[in-house]
Amino acid sequence: MVIDMQDSLKKDFTLRVTQANRSELIVIIFDMCLSYLKEAIEDVDRAENIAKARACVDELKESLNFEYALSTDLLHLYIQVNKLLAQAAAGGRTEPLLEAQSIMIRLHDAFVKVSEADDSKPLVHNAQEVYAGYTYGKNDVNVNIEAGGTGRGFRV
């Protein structure tokens, strides 16, 4: 039996998005990008995963707020990562992917620290509450979705 990890990751990312605030959304985009880079490095649908990683980097570029000087530095790093991804796509080499991955990991770690300090509310309102915990045994994780209103994520 083959388990499609991509479907599992998509479900995980979707769940995280419904519970995330602004800074956590940025971390999720980094996580997605790193997941695509890992797949591309392992030569799994390389061209497709590079294209998806580039889309994540483009989304990070679009999310920059240039009222802060740091945004210009981040823009330059994102442009560098995009160049590396283009080199990997054109040349079929793994080295540019590894370099892009290294840059994105360092940025990811910095944004994780920022998101830990961000106590703002999730952006999606009326989303179902999700709880995970050890409920049936030492090794069993059970996910419980609170059966709230029917407007999940939408104003009613």
Q: How many CB atoms lie within 10 A of CB 15?
A: 16
Q: Which residues contact 134 (CB under 8 A, 6 or more apart)?
A: 140, 141, 142
Same domain, 137 and 66: no
pLDDT score recorded for residue 15: 83
Same domain, 70 and 92: yes
Element (H, E) at 65: none
Same domain, 89 and 64: yes
Same domain, 111 and 156: no
Summarised one tens digit per residue, pLDDT across range 94-141 is 999 999 999 999 999 999 999 999 988 887 766 656 555 444 555 555
Element (H, E) at 26: helix 22-41
Summarised one tens digit per residue, pLDDT across range 56-103 is 999 999 999 999 999 999 999 999 999 999 999 999 999 999 999 999
Q: Which domain holds residue 74?
A: 5-119
What CATH number is associated with residue 93?
1.20.120.340
Same domain, 109 and 82: yes
pTM, two decimals, is: 0.76
Do 141 and 116 contact (CB within 8 A), yes or no?
no
Specify the amino acid at residue 130.
V
Phi-psi region of 92 (alpha: psi -120 to 50; beta: other; left: phi over 0): left
pLDDT band at 5 (very low <50, low <70, confident <90, very high): low
CA angle 4, 141, 10 (to 5 degrees): 30
State how far the Cα of 56 lies from the Cα of 26, in Å rounded to an integer: 10
Q: Which residue is it, tokens 């830990």?
A: 116
Same domain, 103 and 138: no
Phi-psi region of 43 (alpha: psi -120 to 50; beta: other; left: phi over 0): left
Do 97 and 41 contact (CB within 8 A), yes or no?
yes
